[in-house]
Structure 1
Amino acid sequence: MIDFLLNGQPRHCEARPETSVLELLRETLGVTGTKEGCASGDCGACTVAIGEKGPDDELRYHSANACITPAHQLNGRHLVTVDGLADGDNLHPAQSAMVECHGSQCGFCTPGIVMSLFTLHEEQRRETDKALAPLTPQRLEAALGGNLCRCTGYRPIRDAALSMNEHPEHRPLWMDAAAPEPKAQHAADESPFAQPTTLAELTECLARHPEARLVAGATDLWLESTQRLVRFERLIDVTRVAELNVIEETTLEDGRKGWWIGAAVTYTRIEPLLEEHFDAFAHLLHRLGSSQIRNRGTLGGNVANASPIGDTPPVLLALGSRLRLVGPEGERELPLDDFFLDYKRTALQQGEAIHALFLPHPVAGETLKVWKLSKRREDDISAVLGAFAWRLEDGVMRDVRLAFGGMAAIPKRAARAEAALEGKSPTSAAFQEARLALSQDFQPMSDVRGSAHYRQVSAANLLERLRLVIAQDATDSPREVMLHAYAH
């Protein structure tokens, strides 16, 4: 059973494991303001807001794609849809701004756009001094990047976003009310959707049902339901496991400093950490889906999914990350290099799950560059992604790690190309040898995102771009290798 608040009203619902929030709203509850567009988390027509308490015990709302969010994850949460924004006859600022600026065209996408503006407005409300945090083009793009307008009328929508704070603050009081306490679900329960809250409960669930599918953000798993009509017999939701939601700074036995990031930590939560220590990694997040996806998707899920074109695994490989796994035999650790075995096949044994990922602290002089090639700049899957880490010591390259996505059946480091650059000066000759070595490291396949030839040439060109970047850094010239864009 699912106990939650829908637009301030308590709801008690029963649903199958694969039921999405969108299906629960439209088919079970008859709340039809939220629309279905793509059913794959791309268009944003189904955007809703989910409220839950943060680490400071305050209620916060985040945007989510209702079409790929498991309905059972609403348990003990607030759900706000476009149907509930108005306070009686008074419109919410997100709604009144859209009316004033003529931001609604055919109206099909409008509910999702209004809900994205609502969560943006909620963020702005929490800022004590709006003058210090203006709505920059980057922030607006991040907030609305996951909402497509089929009528191509983005200008009035942008105008509405910029003028929301000029409208009266009509906000229902129930938006700050406490959500119902979720009922504890123990591993011994035979419910097909389990929500353990501790690592011990998760381990017990896995021991009892090793065949169950694990779900966190569901940004990829739920496509099996919406696109392939798969029915899940049993799911284990890891998002409530306390130990999987922790970011802990630590020092390993070998002396390396870094952070253990719980497998259920979302991209949105780790973004401040990446912005402070890994600028290139943080930059990549702006191109990893939309804000709706980043609010739900997790680093652990992206690794466990083992897609050869996942965005974060090549970066983690380039940084030398490790994994901590948990299962019936206890915990074990292994380098991320040893985790990916073959297409969609990993080192996870039956009944095991990822507990946390180790993100090493940057060492002195280390540089990280990440470049993603895709057909669209925003909200698209990569054709090729290159992540490169290295140090320059006395004019030669040390600790060279070159990792690629889209070049093999798994995310993989280019061992021969690395060897061609290790201990060498970053000359044209050294990089020419590294580019030639790539043909031995990878034999990519052709698919709808690019041919094998395109991928081979593109990967080699990314190495040439790396050479140019290193050469540029050695000069005082302000010119850039490529024109800079917000999320290139």
Structure 2
Amino acid sequence: MIQFLVNDEMIELTSFVPSLTILDWLRTNIGQIGSKEGCASGDCGACTVVVGDLVNGQWHYKSINSCLMLVGNLHGKHLITVEALTVSRKPAIENLHPVQRAMVECHGSQCGFCTPGFIMSLFALYMNHSAYPGKEVVIQALGGNLCRCTGYQPILKAAEKCFSYDNNAQQNIAHKDNRFSRQVMALTMTLKKALALNEIPFIESAEQYFYLPQNLDQLYHLKATHPQAKFVAGATDLAVEFNQQLKLSKQLISVRYCPELMQFSQNDDGMHIGAALPYSEFIEPFCQIYPEASELLERLGSLQIRNAGSLGGSIGNASPIGDPAPLLIALDAKIELHSIRGQRVMALEDFFIDYRQTQLADDEVIVAIHLPKRNATLKLSCHKISKRMEDDISAICLVLSYQLNDQKMQQVKCVMGGMAAIPAAAKHVAAALNGKTLSLKNLQLAAQQIELDFKPLSDVRASSAYRLQVSKNLFDRIWFQASGQIQLAKDDDSSNVIHTRINHAAL
């Protein structure tokens, strides 16, 4: 059995198909049809809902795509849908939530199909900020809501205006005295009792199972017992298989309830990122160490996707176009694997074997990613090429890292995604740069070696010729970026790493 809250109602479920998404359950099982299905792949945001997690005794709320999150992973969470926001069904505008009222008054509502998704993204923003956070934050919050029937400006105005109304505790669900507080407290106590029993919650349906192990020992034994079972974290890729390819998995094991997989830490040895930790939980501290990676990580899906997806899911999925892998390989990351047989750690570069094939054994679990401490002379350049600026899959991802000493490039690593069956190092490029002076000419000469490293395929995202040409052009961009950083550092007399964005026009 699993237990969770939907708005102000406690739900207990013992049987449902493990591949059932929140969106399908809401619409077909309990008749809440405010959340819409537009793409069933996490691209449009029409299905956006808000989910609360209990973390260290405090509830934290974030937006997610209900078309991707599986019902099994709702255990112990608080799901808020658009139906909960209006205080009364009376048509008076005062009965609307501030974000709904602002959308009406700013004429930000579209045809109506995508509006609930916009409302829930704005609602999550409203819950997590006591005052208007600024346009850049708003754009990030709405990056996964793609409909623009009324144009973007009315929606941006609504995002600002919703913070101008009197703050009504009955309408702001984030307040402690809100109308959900009693139910949330009851759920908190239920979770504490369940943890004390040390049992594995699960659901079943016609010999199909969804397990929710609560610690690593339970996880290891489940995987050893069910080697064909698939792991589920955010399901941002797996749920697309369920929704669009109609694939089914008889056994699913959630990794989201093992505290050991949800850790992030930094010390003198480097950085530790738990395999199941959502991107949004570690991107900020990661980018404090590697600010050059900010744009790449902020363009990794939408905020809804980053609130659900994880490094373990992306790396375990072994997609050749996953954005994190080239960055992590370029930074000499290691991957930590565990099973009931023991532990092993290997270079992430060695983890990938072939298309969608890895070194992960049937009984093993990805536990964490480890990065060494950043060297003071390390330089990093990250570039993603896609058809859309936000919420899109890479056609090409290129990451170049090197140590710069006396303007000489050393320990060069160039790693690319989208160019081969796996994310892979461009070894001829790296060899052409090692020991060379950092200059446009040397970067351009090294770029010519890409054809020795890769023979990319043509697909719906890009042709082989396009991938080769744009990859070479990116080395011009790397020079423009690097020379800009050097000049700024000289002018400011600062040792801080300065990251300057180079527009796609630089290609």
Pairwise same-fold verdict (TM > 0.5): yes
Shorter-chain TM range is over 0.9
CA distance in 2, matches of 1:171, 1:395: 55
C-alpha distance in 2, partners of 1:188/1:48? 24
Matched ranges for 1:255-404 at <5 A: 257-404=269-416
Q: Deviation string for 1:79-133 (max 9, x for gaps)? A: 11010112235221111111222222311111111111110000113xxxx3xxx
Secondary structure, aligned partner of 2:179 = helix
Residue 138 to residue 188, structure 1, CA distance change in 2 (3 Å)? closer
Aligned counterpart, 1:420 = 432
* C-alpha distance in structure 2 between counterparts of 1:189 and 1:73, whole Å: 10
Q: What is the rounded CA distance, in whole Å, between the counterparts of 2:83 and 2:101 in structure 1?
A: 14
Supply the distance in 2 between the matched residues of 1:148 and 1:427 (Cα, whole angstroms): 40
Alignment of 1:28-47 (within 5 A): 28-47=29-48
- Who is 1:12 aligned against? 12
Alpha-carbon offset, residue 434 of structure 1: 1.4
Name the count of aligned residue pairs: 473
- 1:84 equivalent in structure 2: 84
Q: Which residue pairs with 1:206 in the alignment?
A: 223
Aligned to 1:241: 258
DSSP 3-state at the match of 1:124: coil
Distance in 2 (CA, whole Å) between partners of 1:319 and 1:174 is 47
Q: Work out whether residues 186 and 201 of structure 1, in 8 Å CA contact, stay in contact via their aligned partners in 2.
A: no
CA RMSD of aligned residues (A): 2.2
Matched, 1:113 2:108: no
Partner of 1:254: none
Runs of 4+ residues over 4 Å off in structure 1? 182-191, 476-485
Q: CA offset at residue 387 of structure 1? A: 0.6
Deviations 1:50-77 (A, max 9, x none): 011223x221211011011101111111
* Partner residue in 1 for 2:494: none
Helix, strand or coil at the partner of 1:289:
coil
In the other structure, the counterpart of 2:185 is 178
Q: How far apart in 2 are the matches of 1:121 and 1:475?
A: 40
Q: Structure 1 residues 427 and 113, CA, compared in 2 at 3 Å: closer, same or farther?
A: closer
Shift of 1:230: 1.0
Per the alignment, residue 223 of structure 1 pairs with 240
Q: 1:108 to 1:428 in 2, by over 3 A?
A: closer
**Aligned amino acid, residue 103 of structure 1:** G
Query: In the alignment, is the contact (CA less than 8 A) between 2:68 and 2:239 conserved in 1?
Result: yes
Question: Structure 2 unaligned runs (5+)?
Answer: 492-497
Opposite residue 206 of structure 1, the aligned amino acid is K
SS of residue in 2 equivalent to 1:174: coil
Q: TM-score scaled to structure 1, two decimals? A: 0.92
Deviation at 1:30, TM superposition (A): 1.0
User: What is the deviation of 1:178?
Assistant: 2.3
Q: Secondary structure at the match of 2:119?
A: helix
* 2:150 equivalent to 1:138: no
Task: Spell out, residue by residue over 1:128-185, the C-alpha distance to the aligned partner (whole angstroms, 9 max, x if none).
Answer: xx3xxx4222101101111122524322221111101122322352344325235568
How far apart are the structure 1 equivalents of 2:64 and 2:501? 34
Could you say which residue in structure 2 is the equivalent of 1:64? 64
Q: 2:10 aligns to what SS in structure 1?
A: strand
SS at match of 2:449: helix
Separation of aligned partners in 1, 2:46 and 2:429: 44
For 1:188 and 1:83, the matched residues in 2 are separated by 28
Answer yes or no: is the 8 Å Cα contact 1:93–1:167 preserved in 2: yes
Q: Is 1:470 aligned to 2:485, yes or no?
A: no
Query: Secondary structure of 1:60's partner?
Result: strand
2:68, 2:240 within 8 Å by CA — same for their partners in 1? Answer: yes
- Relative to structure 1, is the Cα distance of residues 188 and 290 closer, same or farther in structure 2, using a 3 angstrom cutoff? closer
- Give distance in 1, aligned partners of 2:158 and 2:483: 45
**Residue pair 2:291, 2:499 contacting (<8 A) in 1 also:** no
- In terms of mean alpha carbon deviation, does 279-288 or 75-84 score higher? 279-288
Letter in 1 for 2:158: A
Q: Which residue of 156, 160, 163 maps to 1:162?
A: 160
Secondary structure of the residue aligned to 2:238 is coil
- Specify the SS of the correspondent of 2:162: helix
CA distance in 2, matches of 1:98, 1:152: 11
Once the two structures are TM-superposed, the CA of residue 189 in structure 1 deviates from its matched residue by 6.7
Q: Report the identity percentage.
A: 41
**Greater Cα offset, 76-85 or 360-369:** 360-369
Q: Distance in 2 between matches of 1:271 and 1:428?
A: 31
1:389 & 1:194 partners in 2: Cα distance? Answer: 40
- 8 A contact 1:5–1:77 mirrored in 2: yes
Query: Is 2:16–2:203's contact at 8 Å kept on the other side of the alignment?
Result: no
Structure-2 change in CA distance of 1:337 and 1:146 (3 Å): same
Runs of at least 5 residues in structure 1 that lack an aligned partner in the other structure: 252-256
**Farther-moved stretch of structure 1 (104-113 vs 375-384):** 104-113
CA distance in structure 1 between the partners assigned to 2:342 and 2:258 by the alignment = 16
> Could you tell me which amino acid in structure 1 is paired with residue 129 of structure 2?
Q
Q: Which amino acid aligns with 2:24?
A: E
User: Aligned residue for 2:53?
Assistant: 52
CA–CA distance in structure 2, aligned partners of residues 331 and 190 of structure 1: 30
Q: Give the letter aligned to residue 79 of structure 1.
A: L
2:141 paired with 1:104:
no
After superposition, give the CA deviation of every residue in 1:187-219 in whole Å (9 maximum; x if it has no partner): 697840001111111001101101000010110
Alpha-carbon distance between aligned partners in 2 of 1:338 and 1:225, rounded to the nearest angstrom: 30
Scaled by the length of structure 2, the TM-score of the pair is 0.89
Contact (CA 8 Å) 1:374, 1:384: kept in 2 or not? yes
Greater shift in the superposed pair: 275-284 or 412-421: 275-284
Of 275-284 and 384-393, deviating more is: 275-284
State which drifts further: 163-172 or 112-121.
163-172
